[in-house]
């Protein structure tokens, strides 16, 4: 039987369950942090809500048992031959399941503890961890089979990790055990239409950005948000960075050639303070008023989520920014009503938005997108 599977973001199984409850949805947990939504009535396709705490969705997934790599590959090929239109692009994501144990906090503490210990978790040991190499071998076997039988399908396969096009289909295999997985085939235009739920990153996991030059690891959040929205700070853009110190978001913005006003109570790192494209304003981020509309509001202030959400909505209502990336600090008791309210305000005030826990987020989520008031001719 096919069902839509929702996979919780790291440390967010409890938070995702609270989201299901707030949305009045019943979900069955099929593995730790992996939930199946009941079949939509009359076999129709359901419109999936945008879950804040999911890392990936697998629409219409079916359970698959196969004894060998070749058998998995054959099942994938059988599922797509004659289903994907000739010549239309498609992507293949074969990923190992990472359990998301219940009761883990949303915070950094739990994940740091996990990173420090080299041993697999109890859950992983019990289920038999699936090595990433097995997934690569299955992908290679699919390529080999298509090379023998369906060269036109092979030619249409997309291998770059980037936004789905409207004519692009996606096949996902999530391996929960070496010989058991869930197979999902999403035909175009579903992936494009659900690009806020179905990540183009395989398994919904953004690669870890590596750069030793910025003053802190926080830069990874801004880069991931840019990647996910498919839009980057560009040369000549104007940026306001609220809660900017020590300055890694400001660093990213000036690296891209933008002019930045950086606001914080604490100082930026000396080189950024002296940068000709940075103006530092010491003060309260919540009282800062821009002189004119800026291309980007980026905000990573440590404050209650309610305050950061209000600040973002104020900027959008006043037409103060064209694009935004705003961190919302949420604790273990994720304020579901706050996030739901913010999502509906963003749906009204933005032409496109995401509200989700990024791979790089610990005890926080991120709102990013483009203001509705942005003029089409101002878009790149």
Q: Does 279 bind ligand SAM (CB under 6 A)?
A: no
Q: Is 216 in the site for ligand SAM (CB under 6 A)?
A: yes
Q: Confirm if 229 and 353 have CB atoms less than 8 A apart.
A: no
Cα–Cα distance, 96 to 44 (Å, whole number): 29
Is residue 249 involved in binding ligand SAM (CB under 6 A)? yes
48 touches ligand SAM (CB under 6 A): no
Contact 317, 288 (CB under 8 A): no
Indicate which single residue of 48, 73, 218, 346 sits in contact with ligand SAM (rule: CB under 6 A): 218
- Integer Cα distance of 212 and 220 in angstroms: 11
By CB under 6 A, which span of 44-52, 203-211, 297-305, 355-363 interacts with ligand SAM?
297-305
Smallest Cα–Cα separation from 367: which of 312, 291, 306, 318? 312
Question: Rounded to the nearest whole angstrom, what is the least distance from the CB of residue 259 to ligand SAM in the complex?
Answer: 17
- Other beta carbons within 10 angstroms of residue 340's beta carbon come to 16
Under the binding rule (CB under 6 A), the answer on residue 192 touching ligand SAM is: no
| DSSP result, 185-213 | EE-TTHHHHTTTTS-SSGGG-PPPP--SS
Residue 94 or 326: the one with the smaller Cβ distance to ligand SAM is 326
From residue 226 to residue 245, the character string flagging contacts with ligand SAM as x (rule: CB under 6 A) and all else as - is -----------------xxx
Contact residue for ligand SAM among 266, 317, 318, 333 (CB under 6 A)? 266
Question: Counting Cβ atoms within 10 Å, is residue 210 exposed (0-12), middle (13-18) or buried (19+)?
Answer: exposed
Alpha-carbon torsion angle 210, 211, 217, 220, nearest 10: -60
Q: x/- contact string, 302-341, with ligand SAM (CB under 6 A)?
A: xx--------------------------------------
Nearer to ligand SAM, 133 or 210 (CB): 210
Task: Give least dist CB 303 to ligand SAM, A.
Answer: 5
Q: Where on the chain is the footprint of ligand SAM (CB under 6 A)?
A: 215-216, 218-219, 243-249, 263-266, 284-286, 300-303
């Amino acid at each position: 039987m096919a069902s839509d599977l929702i996979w919780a973001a790291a440390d967010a199984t409890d938070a995702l369950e609270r989201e299901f409850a707030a949305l009045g949805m019943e979900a069955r947990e099929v593995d730790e942090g992996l939930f199946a939504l009941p079949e939509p009535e009359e076999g129709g396709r359901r419109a999936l809500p945008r879950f804040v705490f999911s890392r990936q969705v697998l629409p219409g997934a079916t359970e698959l048992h196969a004894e060998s790599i070749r058998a998995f590959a054959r099942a994938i090929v059988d599922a797509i031959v004659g289903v994907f239109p000739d010549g239309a692009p498609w992507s293949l994501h074969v990923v190992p399941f990472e359990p998301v144990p219940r009761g883990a906090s949303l915070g950094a503490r739990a994940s740091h503890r996990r990173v420090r210990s080299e041993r697999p978790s109890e859950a992983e040991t019990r289920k038999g961890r699936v090595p990433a190499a097995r997934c690569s071998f299955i992908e290679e076997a699919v390529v080999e089979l298509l090379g023998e039988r369906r060269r036109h399908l092979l030619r249409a396969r997309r291998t770059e990790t980037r936004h789905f096009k409207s004519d692009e289909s996606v096949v996902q295999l999530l391996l929960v055990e070496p010989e058991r997985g869930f197979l999902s085939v999403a035909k175009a235009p579903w992936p494009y239409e659900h690009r806020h739920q179905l990540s183009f990153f395989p398994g919904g996991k953004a690669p870890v950005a590596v750069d030793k030059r910025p003053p802190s690891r926080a830069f990874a959040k801004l880069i991931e948000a840019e990647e996910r929205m498919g839009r980057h700070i560009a040369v000549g853009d104007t940026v306001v960075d609220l809660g900017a110190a020590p300055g890694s978001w400001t660093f990213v913005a000036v690296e891209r050639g933008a002019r930045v006003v950086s606001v914080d109570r604490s100082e930026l790192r000396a080189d950024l303070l002296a940068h000709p494209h940075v103006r530092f304003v010491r003060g309260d981020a919540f009282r800062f008023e821009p002189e004119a509309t800026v291309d980007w509001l980026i905000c990573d202030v440590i404050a209650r989520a309610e305050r950061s959400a209000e600040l973002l909505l104020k900027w959008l209502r006043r037409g103060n920014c064209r694009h935004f990336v705003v961190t919302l600090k949420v604790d273990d008791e994720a304020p579901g009503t706050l996030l739901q309210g913010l999502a509906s305000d963003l749906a009204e005030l933005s032409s496109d938005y995401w509200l989700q826990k990024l791979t790089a987020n610990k005890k926080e989520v991120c709102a990013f997108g483009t203001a509705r008031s942005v003029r089409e001719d101002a878009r790149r």
